[in-house]
Structure 1
Amino acid sequence: MKKYLAIILLILPVTLLSQISFNEYFTDKTLRFDFLLAGDSETTIAYPVGMRQEPYWAGSLNNLVEPYQSGNLRYEISDPETGIVIYSKGYGSLFQEWQTTAEAKIISRAFSEVATFPFPLNRVKFVLSRFERDGTYRPVFETFIDPSDYFIRKEGTVNAGYTKIVDSGDPHTCLDIAFIAEGYRAAEMEKFRSDVKRLSEILLSYAPFNEFAERINIWAVEAISEGSGTDIPGEGIYVNTALNSSFYTFDLDRYLTTFDISTVNDFAAVVPHDNIVVLINSERYGGGGMYNYYSGTTSDHMLTPQVFTHEFGHGLAGLADEYYTSDVAYEEFYPFSVEPWEPNITTLVNFESKWKELITEGTPTPTPAEDIYSSSVGLFEGGGYSAKGIFRPQLDCRMKSNEATEFCKVCQDALRRVLKHYTE
């Protein structure tokens, strides 16, 4: 009897997830909730800014609640009458990254944030939680949202042209990726479309994206900038661009991001989208990516293909950086006493939840960084910006170096899981 009860309990969460009916709770549009996250290294406070209706919901109509706990931040939408979670999404943000910098120990700052979810039919509860340094999620903000609230703006989208570069069909059964032009003038939009086409072909050549090539839509959104390029503050270069991107994020010369997530989402709303790529018109090396936030890369550096696929690994599946020798702005990004939520690194606190079962008998753990194990899944020390105490699955991977020609098996499995979530 106990055996059967255990089986029922294991099946129950999956069954509950599958019972969420989109048409019972949502309409086929998006509700966007803008807010600020403010604080310092020890404090996180959320301040609501406003809400708006966007014209498309591109996500799955079946998979509404993530079956995995992921993201440094995550939000849940629930039915206040029953308490049932009807939608959830994890994500990463620049605010959470900044909290691990030296600056966050001495000053407070505020960062814009955006949460999007299917437009509800009835009143819902919104809860935002933060992944704490003890390995738990703690609510930092909650509110009730009434879809009939006349303060929800219905202004339409910004005026921007777009082209569907890859057309695989219904957004509800495809992963929809919106590339947004940054630092491209009106006369450079043909180049932008060509750049998106080139990077799309590169992405779809990688496993596991090649397995889902007929389930991926790719859009090119023409955000026109007055100037060409992007800001390089360390060299006194400033360019008037649509998305206000800049190198030297957190004073790291290669870290290229934009803090203007609101404008990024303004342009993304022009097309159905699940994930956003900001493509910066520059020959310089650099980029950045945050889980379910956006991925960014320059268009014309010789290593752009490697940087783009690496950053997209962050943006789509929350893959962690596996390198540990490059300079970063963070301090103790991963506490050794906590198992990271990212699927491709471990502190061994809860290795059973990671790739332990993929290690074949006879593979030593920790696994020596030797060529004999170059194709093996093992336990290689060094990752997550630390040479000691954090382990990665394989000797090399797109999440570790620009020399790797593919994602490792564990990263491929994580990407495949997310692709299935969007396309089934």
Structure 2
Amino acid sequence: MRTIIFTLLTSICFSQSDSDFNKFFFDETMRIDYFHIGDAKSEMFTIDKIYRYGIWAGSLTNLIDNLNNGKYYYKIYDAASGKLVYSKGYDTFFGEYASSENGLAGIKKSYHESAIIPFPKSKIIFTIEKRDESNLMNEIFRTEIDPASIYIIKDKVTDSDVEIFKPVFNGDPHKKVDVVILAEGYTIEERGKFVEDLERFVGYFFEQEPYKSNKSNFNFYGVFKPSEESGTDLPGADIFVNTVLNTTFWSLGSERYLMTEDNKTMRDLAAFVPYDAIYIQVNHPRYGGGGIYNQFCTYTTDNQFAKYLFIHEFGHSFTGLADEYYTSDVAYTDFYKPTVEPIEPNITALLDKRNIKWKHLLSEGIEIPTPWEKTEFDRMSYEWLKERNRLNNFIAELKKNRAPEDQIKAAEEEYAIKDKLQSEKVDNYLKSSKYWGKVGAFEGAGYQATGLYRPMLDCIMFSKGDKPFCKVCEEAIKKVIANYTN
């Protein structure tokens, strides 16, 4: 009887939500482009342009984001009634910049961002909220948008240089997670390589749980537009190439952080298909990538950890998972406050150890916090970090000085061998622990060696390699998939 009642109530809720969609929205997309300007102490927003195009890719029923993730939320209110009709949590590249050395020094910078919403039938109030130091949401921007405005751009989404691929298509975009993979750094002569890489990485995706068990809930698209030159920028090596999406290593000063600030071009290309999530596939052998929650993620195609990058970075951009590692250099400081519980589902400050956020998944009898062989792990990890930085700097200098190719190749091969050996060393060390496979609270997470805790010893969000998500991350991913497909 309870099951019947639940099913009936669920059906009613979905029906009401579907009714809300038809009442307030057309089955089309509105893209609100705006500039996000500021530093660590202040920020402001200005609307750039607003677009109308294509079908709406998202759910027709789950219009309000109740996942409670992301530092920011944009919220859409019906102007006439004041009713909240759509919302979405997200993070920003600006937010990372604000916690970087330049942002903290008060150097202001402007980022281009977009809010993607179903196209409203009548006037709306568009607001942006931000979490304060206690992670409470506060409104920081508000404006009215009239969907009947003559200034809303309705250009047809077309480009004779763009080609669309559908490596996996399982049906109605409203009921699927729609993922688009954008080509970056592929010349017209490398079109075939893009197609091969696209098929390879989509294959990787569905080898990984929980995506493997949810394959029928996904659509994958590829969007190819050739770049004038192959690869991506390497500023530390004084290498710059002309590519479609203007990606670059050394983003925010981190040598392996590969990102783009060209949001407009990225959104213009993604608009060729219905999408919920964006990948940027960068045609380059160097290890690197990045991911920002409900924005986009990047990965390079031709290194020994390419599969790991592909899965790891999507963990950030699709589910809002935190990095669980803490022994690598990052571009920002003080990302988490020691007295505030992080909002990400897979790390905790353990402020209330009896009510840890993944309490229902804890291994029976596990000690909280959970002791582990951290001292030796830290020693070998920081030792490798020092050597890794030395090798990367050496390779960058060789390239900057235009050293012979065989010399550069030898240095890169040395790095790859040592990097692989370190990864295997880490795997073997963690697997030797008596806590291997247990869910507890292991100190060291979120770029901090102390004060933050992760659920399991290892996870694809913690260390490199072909490995599963921890149980907490896997559960979080399933919730996001359900949010798009139920």
Moved more, 154-163 or 35-44: 154-163
| Misfit runs of 4+, over 4 Å | 14-18
Task: Find the counterpart in structure 1 of residue 171 from structure 2.
Answer: 169
Report the Cα offset of residue 269 of structure 1: 0.2
Task: Find the counterpart in structure 1 of residue 104 from structure 2.
Answer: 105
SS in structure 2 of the partner of residue 326 of structure 1: coil
Task: Find the counterpart in structure 1 of residue 388 from structure 2.
Answer: none
**Structure 2 vs 1, CA of residues 394 and 248 (structure 1 numbering), >3 Å: closer, same or farther?**
same
**Structure 2 vs 1, CA of residues 16 and 70 (structure 1 numbering), >3 Å: closer, same or farther?**
farther
Is 1:291–1:316's contact at 8 Å kept on the other side of the alignment? yes
Task: Find the counterpart in structure 1 of residue 134 from structure 2.
Answer: 134
SS in structure 2 of the partner of residue 125 of structure 1: strand
Moved more, 135-144 or 146-155: 135-144
SS in structure 2 of the partner of residue 245 of structure 1: coil
What letter is aligned with 1:101?
S
Task: Find the counterpart in structure 1 of residue 274 from structure 2.
Answer: 272
Task: Find the counterpart in structure 1 of residue 345 from structure 2.
Answer: 343
**Structure 2 vs 1, CA of residues 15 and 344 (structure 1 numbering), >3 Å: closer, same or farther?**
farther
Unmatched 5+ stretches in structure 2: 1-8, 374-432
**Structure 2 vs 1, CA of residues 104 and 17 (structure 1 numbering), >3 Å: closer, same or farther?**
farther
Question: Matches of 1:231 and 1:97 in 2, distance apart?
Answer: 20
SS in structure 1 of the partner of residue 437 of structure 2: coil
Which of 1 and 2 has greater Rg? 2
Written as runs of structure 1 = structure 2, the 5 A alignment for 1:345-360 is 345-349=347-351, 352=355, 354-360=357-363
Task: Find the counterpart in structure 1 of residue 438 from structure 2.
Answer: 376
Written as runs of structure 1 = structure 2, the 5 A alignment for 1:19-168 is 19-20=16-17, 21-106=20-105, 107-159=107-159, 160-168=162-170
Task: Find the counterpart in structure 2 of residue 7 from structure 1.
Answer: none
Is 1:158–1:266's contact at 8 Å kept on the other side of the alignment? no
Moved more, 344-353 or 261-270: 344-353
Q: How far does the alpha carbon of each residue in 1:328-354 deviate from its partner, in whole angstroms, 9 at most, with x for none?
A: 121110001111111101112366472
Is 1:52–1:152's contact at 8 Å kept on the other side of the alignment? yes
Question: Matches of 1:385 and 1:16 in 2, distance apart?
Answer: 41
Q: How far does the alpha carbon of each residue in 1:240-269 deviate from its partner, in whole angstroms, 9 at most, with x for none?
A: 000000000011110000011111010000
Is 2:361–2:471's contact at 8 Å kept on the other side of the alignment? no
Is 2:348–2:356's contact at 8 Å kept on the other side of the alignment? no
Question: Matches of 1:388 and 1:16 in 2, distance apart?
Answer: 44
Is 2:442–2:457's contact at 8 Å kept on the other side of the alignment? yes
Is 1:17–1:65's contact at 8 Å kept on the other side of the alignment? no
Question: Matches of 2:453 and 2:81 in 1, distance apart?
Answer: 42
Is 2:185–2:229's contact at 8 Å kept on the other side of the alignment? yes
Report the Cα offset of residue 83 of structure 1: 2.4
**Structure 2 vs 1, CA of residues 86 and 350 (structure 1 numbering), >3 Å: closer, same or farther?**
farther
What CA RMSD, in Å, does the superposition of the two structures yield over aligned residues? 1.8
Q: How far does the alpha carbon of each residue in 1:53-88 deviate from its partner, in whole angstroms, 9 at most, with x for none?
A: 121211111111112211111101112233221111
Question: Matches of 1:422 and 1:350 in 2, distance apart?
Answer: 32
Question: Matches of 2:178 and 2:118 in 1, distance apart?
Answer: 15
Is 2:92–2:295's contact at 8 Å kept on the other side of the alignment? yes
**Structure 2 vs 1, CA of residues 404 and 224 (structure 1 numbering), >3 Å: closer, same or farther?**
closer
Question: Matches of 2:68 and 2:169 in 1, distance apart?
Answer: 31
TM-score (norm: length of structure 2):
0.82
- Considering fraction of residues, name the structure with more strand: 1
Question: Matches of 1:158 and 1:252 in 2, distance apart?
Answer: 36
Question: Matches of 1:353 and 1:131 in 2, distance apart?
Answer: 21
Question: Matches of 2:362 and 2:212 in 1, distance apart?
Answer: 25
Equivalent in 276, 282, 287 of residue 285 of structure 1: 287
Moved more, 289-298 or 360-369: 360-369
Question: Matches of 1:93 and 1:262 in 2, distance apart?
Answer: 14
SS in structure 2 of the partner of residue 263 of structure 1: helix
What letter is aligned with 1:120?
P
Question: Matches of 1:119 and 1:314 in 2, distance apart?
Answer: 27
Task: Find the counterpart in structure 1 of residue 367 from structure 2.
Answer: 364
SS in structure 2 of the partner of residue 142 of structure 1: strand
Question: Matches of 1:56 and 1:193 in 2, distance apart?
Answer: 25
Task: Find the counterpart in structure 2 of residue 5 from structure 1.
Answer: none
Matched, 1:399 2:396: no
Q: How far does the alpha carbon of each residue in 1:184-227 deviate from its partner, in whole angstroms, 9 at most, with x for none?
A: 11121221121111111111111110111011110010122100
What letter is aligned with 1:144?
E
Report the Cα offset of residue 235 of structure 1: 0.3
**Structure 2 vs 1, CA of residues 137 and 15 (structure 1 numbering), >3 Å: closer, same or farther?**
farther
Task: Find the counterpart in structure 2 of residue 241 from structure 1.
Answer: 243
Equivalent in 370, 385, 395 of residue 447 of structure 2: 385
SS in structure 2 of the partner of residue 77 of structure 1: strand
Unmatched 5+ stretches in structure 1: 1-11
Question: Matches of 1:384 and 1:367 in 2, distance apart?
Answer: 17
Task: Find the counterpart in structure 2 of residue 420 from structure 1.
Answer: 482
Report the Cα offset of residue 295 of structure 1: 0.8
Instruction: State the number of aligned residues.
Output: 413
Is 1:397–1:404's contact at 8 Å kept on the other side of the alignment? no
Is 2:80–2:123's contact at 8 Å kept on the other side of the alignment? no
Is 1:158–1:267's contact at 8 Å kept on the other side of the alignment? no
Is 2:14–2:61's contact at 8 Å kept on the other side of the alignment? no
Question: Matches of 1:272 and 1:314 in 2, distance apart?
Answer: 21
TM-score (norm: length of structure 1):
0.94
Moved more, 274-283 or 52-61: 52-61
What letter is aligned with 2:349?
T
Task: Find the counterpart in structure 2 of residue 310 from structure 1.
Answer: 312
Question: Matches of 2:172 and 2:213 in 1, distance apart?
Answer: 18
Is 2:33–2:112's contact at 8 Å kept on the other side of the alignment? yes
Identical residues among aligned pairs (%) = 41
